[in-house]
Structures are given as structure tokens and as C-alpha cells.
Structure 1
Amino acid sequence: MRILSQSQENFFWQKLMAIVMVTNLLLVFFNITYIPLRDLYLQYLPGVVQQYDPVKGIEPNELTENYLQTVTQLEAAIAAQGPTAANSLAILEQLQKQSLAIVDENPFLLADKSATFARLKRRLRSFVGISSNREAFLTFWSPPFLAANSWPTIQTFFNQKLRPLIASNYFRETNEIGQFVDNFWRIDIYFIGFFALEFGIRTLVISRQTAGISWLDAIARRWYELPLFLPFWRWLRLIPAAVRIHRSRLLNLERLLGQMTHEPAAYLAERVSRFALVRLVNQAKEAVNAGEIAALDHAGNNYVQVGDPNKLDQLTDRLLRLVIYQVMPTIKPDLEALLRHSLQRALKASELYEGLQQIPGIQAIPQDMIAPISDYLAQASCDVLATSYADVEGRLLVDQLSHDFRQALGQELTQGGTQTELQKLLSDLLEEMKLNYIQKAKQQNPEDILEEVDQLDEQAPVTNYS
């Protein structure tokens, strides 16, 4: 016998819970839609009506039910004795009285089926050819009308056009506070108890298996499952059911949910991103205008430090290491060419070079004299920096140079004119970025971007939910 792993058992339980939730959700929607669709059930599935009417507190309406029974008696009497027999005439008179009672009392009102009653009266008036409801009913059940029209025609009209409308009427009980009786809770209470037990055990297990999470925290994280326990607003159970179906992969709802939220999510994401950008740029502008960037190295007590407080020194040290050991050797040929060019210009501009020009035979400085000098200076510059930074005393001198450089730069940046000019330039640059980005974002279709996100999601591996 093969033993299932813990993940397989959890996945199987997720599927089972999804099936139970779907079953309960179908019952909930059946209960919600039963009254509006009861006429269809009565016509095509009368057994369902017979079984479920007691759950909704529905009973046959006494007035309309007696009316149909009287019509059945008339059919039996005419079939046995004919329409002119004394028994048939007595039943016709009884039907006339019952018809007037139906017209006066409107037994369809309590069941909120006034539209059905209006349809019934309209059909009867059209068949009889009389505009008055009372006169139409009296004429329909009168002996002269039966004599002028064949009984099979009248019987067929009543059974096909009127009987289904009358049979759809019902009486529904009310409770002490005047609300209609609905005993669906007798069925739903088993599901509620099952869901509550499963919810309590699962959240308790999560709280014990996850560090730093209490039982209340685990319950709060599963807040969307609370409609499973509510005896009202049961249609909200669609939310936890959809989540469970998605997690258990009982049905693939990814595409459906994506299509349902595609356009709203696209434009909402666009507005959120633009809001975040504008807020970020505005906060940066406020920091620049307030001089917080220049004072970052000596921030006040309200400034929140993260990690080592000497981050600027470490950044400077790291940059110097990169420049000395990585950048300088790479740019050594360029540095040699620059020094060679500078030496040539410097010598040509010197008085010594003008004196040499007066010596016969010397018209220019040989290149083989300048090249070794420039190569030596370039190599010496790299070696001096590397040696000085590696040496303890040299390192102290470099650190002092770095410190003095930052101090001097900071003092110059905080000078009134320089600080104001830099703040204005940075503020204008941020404002320019904000305006241009937002304008460019308006020209892009957010749905195209969301489609790219969906394509990336499709390429991502499937996640197993616990």
C-alpha cells in the first residue's frame, strides 16, 4: 500500500474542501433563486417543488387550490353526465362564486405574483371577448357559454392557458417578525459546522508551524473565509470558494480572473504608478529644497540610520580601491597619451624649448625623449597611488585627503549661492523628469504592459499552495 506524502495529502484535502465548498455554493444559489424560478421547476421538475416547498415554508393557497379541485370535479361530472346535468350546473354556479372571490381577494398578492394574476385575467378576457374581469369569469363558467362553445375547447384552453398560472400560486408562512419562513439553515448548518471546524484546526496548525504568528493572526490572514460561517449574505461564499478552487487547481480560474480584472487592473496600475512617481519626485524635491541632501553626513536626531553610520566613509574607501586597483591600470594607455601630449605642450611653451630652437640642427623635440618620460610618469602615478593606499602611513594620508576633500566639498556646497543654485538645478531636473515621464506614460497603453506581465506569469513555474 502506497503511503501519501504530507504535500500529497494536503493537496488531496484542498481538492476535497474545494468540492465541498462548490457543493455548498450551488445549494446556496439554488436556495436564493428558488422562488424566482419556482414556476419553471413546477413545470419541468415538479418533484423538486414537492420536496423543496416545505424548506421555504410554502403551502398550497387554499382559495386557488379549491378552485382547481372544483374544476376537476366539473370535468368529472361533465364526462359522466354531460354539461346540462343538475350536478354539472351546480358545480358551474360554485365556480362562478369562487371566481368572484378570486377577483375580489386577489390571492396572488401574498406570493408576489400579481403579474401572473394579471396575465391570467388578460387571457380570460381575450378568450371570452369581455373587457370586465368579473363578467369574463361569470360568462366563462355559465351554461350558455358552454352551450355556445364545445366543452373540449373550453377544457383545453383552461388546462393549457389558465391552470398552470393558477397552480403556480402558493401561500408562504411568515415568522413572528413578519419575515418569510426559510428553513434552509437546517441544511446549511452542517456545512457551517464543517467549515468552522476545518477553519479552526487549519489556522491553529498554521499558527503553530509559523514563528511569530498567533492564532488570531492566522485567523486574520484568512478573513476572506468568514462568509462561510455567516447565516446571511451567503452569496459572499463565492469569494472563499473561488480562492479554494484556484489553490486546489480543481478548475483553472487563472485566465477567467485575468480577463475579468484585465482592464480595471491595467488602468489602476497606471494611476498607482503615476501617483507613486509624482510622490517620490515631490519628496525628493522637498529634500533638495530643504538642504537635507547636503546635510546628510551630519543628520540630526530625527534621521533614521540603517546599518553602519559611517557609510559615506566606506563608500569613499570602496571607490578609491576601485579607482586605484581597477580603473587606473585600465586607463594607463590613455593616461600615457595624455601626459605625452601635455609634456609636449608644456615644453613647447617653455623658454628652454625656445632656446633649443636657436641651436642649429635641433628643430623639434624627439618623440623618443618624451615617450619614456610620459610612460614613467603614468606608471609612477599608478604605483604611487597603490603604494600609498597599501602603506599604513600612506593610507592615513589618503584618508586625511579624502576627509579634507569631503569637508571642503561640503563647505562649498553649503555656501549660500552654490547651495541655492544646485538646489534649483536639481529641483528643475526632478520636475522635468516628472513632467516628461507622466507625459510619456499617457502615450503608452497600460493594457499592452499588462499583457507583457501576463506573458511573464505564464512562463513562470506553477506554485504549490499549502
Structure 2
Amino acid sequence: MTSFNQPQDFQSKFPAQWWSKLVAFVALINLVLVIFNVSYIPLRDVYIKHLPIVVKLYDPVKEIEPHPDTTHYIKTVEVLKSELSQSGLKSEQTDYILANLRQQSQSIIEENPYDVANKFGTFAKLKRRMEYHVETPYAQEAFTQFWSQDYLAKVGIVEALAFFDERIRPLLEVNYFRPVDENGQYVDNFWKLDIYFILFLGVDFLGRTLMISRRQPGVSWFDAMLRRWYDWLFLLPTWRWLRVIPVSVRVHKSGLFNLERILAQITHEPAAYLADRVSTFIMVQLINQAKDSVKTGDMARSILEPDPYIQVSEIDKIDAIIDRILQLSIYQVLPKVQPDIEDLLRHSLKGTLTKSDFYQGLQQIPGLKGLPVNVIDQLADYLANASYDVLSSSYSDAEGRELFNKLSDNFKSVLRQELQDEVTQSELQIWLFDLLEELKLNYVQRARKDDPERTLSEAEKLRQEEEERQQELPETGDGRL
């Protein structure tokens, strides 16, 4: 039966995971409110038409009030409707109300009460609709003619008031008045809602960074705050839209929502071309630095006359690497290629013996002229085996190892002296310089042919396959299935 007993560390992390999800959820709600607050003014006309309850609840947050001029205008029209229903069009009171509407219309056209709310388009639409309806090219004349007894009698009171309610009244209702503070900025009381989120997220930020500083030696509380720099954006009273950065991080890290696929798709093309640019830049920069080192002779001096440098241990890394390679060559590689080495030595020694003066002298001695060929073969085999045994045993023997090291040191010393020859260095520098230039040109040309997006897609595919493989692995007894 599978055990579902969770280890103590998992149980201790369980509340922390839920707390992270809770904080991420609160941060997400705050971001939604921030976006709503930023978009409220541009979308207020839509809310008035479709969700008037939202306007009723949120206008006090922005300290938005109905504009007195347009509100009074609408009320005057309502008084006109009531008077028309009681006294008719030709009454003295009706004529007075129409004169009042004509005067208010002139004031609205001249003073533009929409300027406070930055509704220039709505104001222009108001004038244009009345001009088209009355067929007059001037807004003041259009309103004056519309609010006259002759015009209302001509087109009909019902039709005229229906046009006003359907086409003019909505443009008057969306206008508003909004006070400004001593700095000339519109008064906005959103901070009264936002302060609770700032305090909550700020306390969480202090607690998280304090835990990080205690759990990680050498990391101060301030260092931990710098590492989580994005959480500082929660504390800014302005530029609140920047909170999308810490909210995205919190939501993704807490696992509240899986944003991996969304982030991958959003950053796919920019990341592909940025990675291509960066890799090309790094490669070209490294090659150019190597070329400069070759051209100035710094590379040759660093090889032939190395300066003392800081070591992480007392072991000479170069000698250790050479020693390890020799051990692998003698004890691992040579035994596997021993037949080939013996064949090569046998062939070389046999040819050398048959051509040597000693062998030619033996041919002149009576009785040894017909020295059998198999004797030469046996001698060559013996010398080949002996050479291989000498090579194998000399490295493991203490005295042989010392002689071998002496040979190696003398070889490196002589080679270093020969490489210091100016002619040799000049030739090697030219060849290395040209080789690096060819490498740079070919790399850049090849990089242009490759599609960075396809490379990034391959890397993303490998990452997804690795994640799927890890998920398919059976969990062990440490609390996993």
C-alpha cells in the first residue's frame, strides 16, 4: 500500500504555500482595482449607459459631481415638459422657460462646461448633432432656433423632445465636475482604498525579507530587500500600474495560476532575437579580445612567462591534468591498442635491422649469409615487446618516473625557449589572428542563416520534455508517490 505520510518539512511548508497563495490573491485583487481605477474615467460613459450602479458607487472615490450647468439645463427641460403638459406651448410661462433655455444654451456654447472633464469630443458632438438636426451651420443659432415656440410648433413638441432625450440629453448627463488640489491635480481618493493593500503587502514584504536574511548566512536584511526589489513597487503611491511586475512574480511563484505558458509565448520572439544578439555579441567580443591578445603578444607572454596568480589549492592544475592524461594513456589506452603498437614497432625495427650496417656485415661472414628471416622477425618481436614494456613500466617505477619527469621538464623548457624566437612568434601570431578572424566571420555568417525562434522553440521543447519526465518519475518515500 502506498504511504501518504508527509515529512515534517513538507508539513511546515504547507501553511507557507497557502500564505503565498493568499498574498498573491490579494495582490491580484489590488492590481485589478488599480486597473479599474486607471480606466474608470475613460470608461465612465460606458458605465453610465450600461452599469449606472458602478458610477453611483465610484464617483465619490474620484469626487466626481454632476456639473451644475448641464444639470441645471436638464432640470430646466424637465420643467418645460411639465409646463407644456399643463399650459401648452403658447402660455407665457412656457415662453419664459424657452427663453431661459436659449440663454443657458448660449452660455454652454460660450463657456464650454465640458472643459473641466476634458470632454472636448463630447462637446463637439453636442454642437454637431444640434446643427445637423436644425440644419444650421452654427451651434448657437441651432439651439436658439430649437428652443423657440415656432420651431416646436412646426416639428411637433413630442418629436422635438424625443430628439432631445435620445440625442442631446445623454451628452449632457455624462458631463461632470471634478475638483483639483493645490498642485493642480484632480482629487482622487483611491489611496483610501489602496492604503490597506499597501500596508498588507508591505508587512508581508518585511516579513519575507527578514526570513530570507535569517535563513541565508551572509545576507543582511537590506540585501534581502534589494533582492526582492520588485516588491518595492507595491509601496509606490504613484505609477501603480507598475505593480503588474510584482503581481506576475507572486502569482507565478505561488502557483496560484500557471503563467509559464503565457510568459513563454509573450516573451518568445523578443527572447529569441535578444538571445541571438547577445550570443553573437559575446562570441565576437571574445574573438576580438583574443585577437588583440595575440596581436599585442599578451597571449604568448602568458604562456611562455606566466605570472603568479591566485590558486584555490596547492595542486598544480596543469601538471595534475598532464599526469592524469599520461596515466590514462599508459594504463587504459595503450593496453587496448597494444597489438597495433607492436605491429608498428615490429615493422619499423625489422626494416631498421635489415638496413643496418651490423646486419650487412653479418651477411659478409661465411656461414651467416643466409641468416633466416624468422630470426629477424623474432628479434623484432622481442624488441617491440621490450619497448612496450619499458614504456609501461617506466612511468610506474619511481626511478623511471623521475627520469620521465626530467625528460618532460626538459622538453617543455626547450619548447618554451624555441617558441620565444621572434620569427616563430610572428608566424604563429599571424596564423592565430587569421584563424580567429575566419572563426568570427564564419560564426556570424552561420548565425544569420539560423532562425533564432526555431532554436528557442527547440530549447523550450527540451525543457517541457524534461518537466514531463520529472512528473512521470515515481515519487519516493519522502512524502511523494
When normalised by structure 1's length, the TM-score is 0.92
**Superposition RMSD in Å:** 2.5
User: Closer, same or farther in 2 for the Cα pair 1:393/1:352, shift >3 Å?
Assistant: closer
1:64·1:166 contact (CA, 8 Å) conserved in 2? yes
Alignment match, 1:5: 11
Per-residue CA deviations over 1:264-316 (Å, capped at 9, x if unaligned) read 21121112111111222223333334153464364224x44454463333233
- Identify which of structures 1 and 2 has the higher relative contact order when contacts are C-alpha pairs closer than 8 Å and 6+ apart: 2
Give the counterpart letter for 1:58 in structure 2.
Answer: I
Q: Does 1:158 align with 2:140?
A: no
Alignment partners' CA distance in 1, 2:391 and 2:86: 127
> Which range moved further: 386-395 or 8-17?
386-395
Equivalence for 2:47: 41
What's the CA shift for 1:151? 1.2
Q: 2:116 aligns with which of 110, 113, 130?
A: 110
Correspondence 1:368-447 to 2 at 5 A: 368-447=374-453
1:172 offset after TM fit, Å? Answer: 0.7
Partner of 2:299: 292
Q: CA deviation at 1:81?
A: 2.9
Contact kept? 1:92, 1:141, Cα under 8 Å = yes
- Identity across aligned pairs (percent)? 48
Query: Partner letter of residue 390 of structure 1?
Result: S
Gapped regions of structure 2 (runs ≥ 5): 1-5, 472-481
The amino acid across from 2:333 in the alignment is V
- Paired residue for 1:277? 283
Deviation at 1:430, TM superposition (A): 2.1
Give the alignment partner of residue 202 of structure 2, picking from 196, 203, 206: 196
AA matched with 1:154: A
Shift of 1:438: 1.7
Asked if 1:88 corresponds to 2:94, the answer is: yes
Alignment of 1:141-220 (within 5 A): 141-220=147-226
| Structure 2 SS opposite 1:174 | coil
Paired position in structure 2 for 1:258: 264
Amino acid at match of 1:33: S
Structure-2 change in CA distance of 1:367 and 1:7 (3 Å): farther
Cα pair distance change 1:374/1:352, threshold 3 Å: closer
CA distance in 2, matches of 1:84, 1:295: 109
Letter in structure 2 aligned against 1:217: D
SS at match of 1:181: coil
Report the TM-score, using the length of structure 2 for normalisation. 0.89
Secondary structure (helix, strand or coil) at the match of 2:408 reads helix
Q: Tell me if structure 2 keeps the 8 A contact 1:185–1:231.
A: yes
What is the distance in 2 between the residues matched to 1:42 and 1:341? 102
User: 1:294, 1:410 within 8 Å by CA — same for their partners in 2?
Assistant: no
Secondary structure of the structure 1 residue equivalent to 2:94? helix
SS in 1 for 2:193: helix
Q: Is the 8 A contact 1:297 1:312 kept in 2?
A: no
Count of residue pairs the alignment pairs up: 462
C-alpha displacement at 1:77, in angstroms?
A: 1.7
Distance in 2 of aligned mates of 1:198 and 1:364 = 101
Within 5 A, what are the aligned runs for 1:287-366? 287-289=293-295, 290-293=297-300, 295-296=302-303, 298-301=305-308, 303-308=309-314, 310-351=316-357, 366=372
- One-letter code of the match for 2:467? P
Is the CA contact (8 Å cut-off) linking 1:340 and 1:370 kept in structure 2?
A: no
Letter in structure 2 aligned against 1:282: N
SS in 1 for 2:114: coil
Paired amino acid for 2:324: R
Residues 332 and 379, structure 1, Cα contact 8 Å, conserved in 2: no
